[in-house]
Amino acid sequence: MTTASSADHPTRRDFLYVATGAAAAVGVAATVWPLIDQMNPDAATIAAGAPIEVDLTPIAEGQDIKVFWRGKPIYISHRTKKQIDEARSVPLSSLPDPQTDEARVKSGHDQWLVVIGICTHLGCIPIAHEGNYDGFFCPCHGSQYDTSGRIRQGPAPANLAVPPYQFVSDTKIQIG
């Protein structure tokens, strides 16, 4: 809009419009944030995601259990000597996502493999003790993981993730 009055005081008029427009933009942005942030996990959900402790004594060698932490299945495998050797004898160069087995377990507790049981392809839950590598097999699109939870074959791009955890004692871990 070009008008007579704007020709008289172009800067003052423009300043007022710019200031009002800017204030409106700030107001809208500040209003939008709560509307988006409400979708984030609420305080109760966050509190429920606190660390959990898992007792390892009932898990015999060669067995595994599935526990839930933050809504995710966590596989805890008590690996046999053979499984550990299998995992450690593979040349790293042959892995799609190279990582040593040692880097995926806690030293001194090499028999315990703790991984998040969520296929890194599209989120299905792989089945333990299945597939060609004695590790995990994902039935959705055929990804195969080895005894260290590393991807060996199939569409998944990465190894099964290791959750944050530590040994509280020799027979107890805290996940989270």
Partner 1 sequence: MSGPSDFQPTNPALRWIERRLPIFGLVHSSFVAYPTPRNLNYWWTFGAILSMMLAVQILTGVILAMHYTPHADLAFRSVELIVRDVNYGWLLRNMHACGASMFFFAVYIHMFRGLYYGSYKEPREVLWILGVIIYLLMMATGFMGYVLPWGQMSFWGATVITNLFSAVPYFGESIVTLLWGGYAVGNPTLNRFFSLHYLLPFVIAGVVVLHVWALHVAGQNNPAGVEAKTEKDTVAFTPYATIKDLFGVSCFLIFYSWFIFYMPNYLGDAENYVPANPGVTPAHIVPEWYYLPFYAILRSIPNKLAGVIAMFSAIIILCFLPWLDSAKTRSSKYRPLAKQFFWMFVVVCVLLGYLGAQPPEGIYVIAGRILTVCYFAYFLIVLPLLSRIETPRPVPNSIADDVLAKTGSKAAPMVSTVIAIMVAGGLLVGGAQSAKAEGGEVAPPAQKWSFSGPFGTFDRGAVQRGLQVYKEVCATCHSLSFVAFRNLADPGGPGYSTAQAAAFASEYKIKDGPNDQGEMFERPGRPADYFPSPFPNEQAARAANGGAAPPDLSLITKARSYKRGFPWFIIDFFTQYQEQGPDYVSAILQGFEEKPPAGVTIPEGSYYNTYFPGHAIKMPKPLSDGQVAYTDGSPTTVAQYAHDVTTFLMWTAEPHMEARKRLGLQVFVFLILFSILMYFTKKKVWANAH
Residues that bind partner 1 (CB under 8 A): 1, 3-5, 13, 16-17, 19-20, 23-24, 26-27, 30, 34-35, 37-40, 42-45, 47-48, 50
Tell me the pairing of strands 112-116 and 72-78. antiparallel
- How far is residue 124's CA from residue 26's CA, in Å, rounded to a whole number? 42
Among 156, 160, 173, 175, binds ligand FES (CB under 6 A): 156
Answer whether 61's CB lies under 8 Å from 111's CB. Answer: yes
Is 141 catalytic? The answer is yes
Residue 45's SS3 state is helix
Helix or strand (DSSP H, E) at 20? helix 10-37
Q: CB-wise, 132 or 169, nearer to partner 1?
A: 169
Closer of 84 and 140 to ligand FES (Cβ): 140
Contact footprint for ligand FES (CB under 6 A):
119, 121-124, 138, 140-143, 154-156
Q: Known catalytic residues?
A: 141
